[in-house]
Structure 1
Amino acid sequence: MSKKLSITAVSYLNTVPFVFGLKSINYKKHFNLSLDIPAECARKVLNDEVDIGLVPIYAVLNKPKYKLFSDYCIGALNDVRTVTLLSNGPLSSIKKVYLDNHSKTSANLIKVLAKFYWKMDIEWVTADIEKVKIPLPESEGMLAIGDKVFGLEQKFEHQIDLAKEWHQFTGLPMVFAVWVTSKKLSTVFTEKFCKALAFGVENIPLAAESLNGLKISHDEATHYLTKNISYVLDKPKRDAIVLFEHYVNLMNPKE
């Protein structure tokens, strides 16, 4: 009997359609699936602890070993809602930003925006966002990502959506996470896996109905998954990945 494949995926609400789709093929017969914070997904993939991963895009920039696996991703055409700079003062007043330690993609996105779009010099502090004391002074901001944004956004006077800012800067959507692998997988498995992802994306209302313990209502979750998140990895999103990599390399020439 062949060894089961191992897969890691992001443990946020925006991954629910993918998980719902994988459940439709009774995935436990075919592979082991773990749901992790983005940084842990990246670590597992880069350490070859898993065969396939839904990982933050920053983790695989400039790493040709890892190939895109499927035509699906976690992206946004404009507002994403859950990658947000929160503050009590306007953007122009911010001198220091606490960066959510769950993902380097969002941290590098805000650094790219600050350097090339906002033209601002900001002090960056990586932190466990849930332990940062609030309210923050007007000179400080907090980059929050994922489901925790739902509970934090109303506690701040200003919310700046980073996907929207990226779109205004570049005219392109933003890609936050992609499915990747460094392994050679069978065509049969690949087709079955991708069809399962497609099934989940095409049945988001059903996927949302299956959820319990949400910080938001099922209707709000459905709206978020259908209006804020964009799952198809089309040409504009692939172009966005290339451009994001370009700006990251300009910002970090040694990386």
Structure 2
Amino acid sequence: MQADSTIRVGRIRVGAVRYLNTKPLVHGLAAANPDIDLSFDLPSRLADKLASGDLDVALIPSVEFFQDPSYSIVSDACIACRGPVWSVKIFFRKPPAEVRTLALDEGSRTSAALSKVLLSERFDLKPQTVPLPIDSGFDSVDADAVLIIGDRAIHAPAGDFVEIWDLGQVWRQWSGKPFVFAAWVARPEFDTPQIAAALSAARDAGLAHLQEIAAAEAPRHRLTAEQCLTYLRDNLHFTLGPDEESGLSLFHAHAVQRGLAPPNDRWTHHDCEAT
């Protein structure tokens, strides 16, 4: 039995995405932990693999975490922001109060849900939504507003926009809380305490090597090393503390209200009013 346990622990299947904002969380993770089998995929596929049992732990978007009340967060490492996030934006062709159609970048279900929450709370809007495929250009959709994420948001498209929302900043101004985009989540039957220490250590190593990471990643994202460093250091926050948990709980409550997530007593936020 001991041998079987060693084999099981020796093959902890961990999934993450290759996005720039994930680099500090996986810095040296596989090299420092031979017990971890690290793989990469799209966020939606990671969520599917976690649900099917093909992964033990995955860095999945917060909305995906909400979908299964039996899931648990297994690390204090996360992807969050405490203000402008720079890489998640809504570009408005009409004033926000007049938006009737919203194009949603298919790359992020969490940002799509956040957009719906903020438009509802700030302007009592429930716009019709249309997809913006990952490989489609900004002008391929004729919508009043367009949500885009990642490189496309960082490199703002040319256009005549009446307003641009950085969703990290708008959420912070409205709620007073940080926003958690993704966390390390495990299936209920997975119980290996040392994974938490490994994931936290990898995060700490990443934060200690931000300049190195920024220099390596900047050319791939058409950024200068300084721009890349600023994004990773100043726009993102990688620790899930009490404030982040409170922000996550508030987001869950509003997602439940709009049918975007099922209820979960562990994440019930009894006061859904923003501070």
TM-score (norm 2): 0.82
CA RMSD of aligned residues (A): 2.3
Bigger drift between 32-41 and 99-108 goes to 32-41
The answer on whether the counterparts of 2:107 and 2:134 sit within 8 Å (CA) in structure 1 is no
Which deviations, in whole Å up to 9, do the C-alpha atoms of 1:191-220 show, x marking residues without a partner? 233212222123312222233523211110
Which deviations, in whole Å up to 9, do the C-alpha atoms of 1:127-178 show, x marking residues without a partner? 30431451766x6221111233233x14243421111111111111111101
Aligned-partner residue type, residue 122 of structure 1: P
2:148 maps to 1:144: yes
The separation in 1 between residues aligned to 2:130 and 2:140, in whole angstroms, is 17
Q: What corresponds to 1:124 in structure 2?
A: 129
Q: How many residues align?
A: 251
Q: What corresponds to 2:231 in structure 1?
A: 224
Per-residue deviation at 1:118? 2.5
Q: What corresponds to 1:240 in structure 2?
A: 247
The separation in 2 between residues aligned to 1:24 and 1:237, in whole angstroms, is 29
- Map 1:93-108 onto structure 2 (within 5 A): 93-108=98-113
Aligned-partner residue type, residue 203 of structure 1: H
Q: What corresponds to 2:204 in structure 1?
A: 198
Q: What corresponds to 1:184 in structure 2?
A: 190
2:58 maps to 1:53: yes
Bigger drift between 180-189 and 40-49 goes to 180-189
TM-score (norm 1): 0.88
Per-residue deviation at 1:116? 1.6
Shift in alpha-carbon separation, 1:215–1:35, aligned structure 2, 3 A: farther
Where do 5+ consecutive residues of structure 1 fail to align?
none
Per-residue deviation at 1:253? 8.0
Aligned-partner residue type, residue 191 of structure 1: A
- Map 1:161-176 onto structure 2 (within 5 A): 161-176=166-181
Aligned-partner residue type, residue 36 of structure 2: F
Aligned-partner residue type, residue 18 of structure 1: L
2:213 maps to 1:207: yes
Shift in alpha-carbon separation, 1:127–1:154, aligned structure 2, 3 A: closer
Give the SS at the match of 1:130.
coil
Q: What corresponds to 2:86 in structure 1?
A: 81
The separation in 1 between residues aligned to 2:107 and 2:208, in whole angstroms, is 28
Shift in alpha-carbon separation, 1:14–1:253, aligned structure 2, 3 A: closer
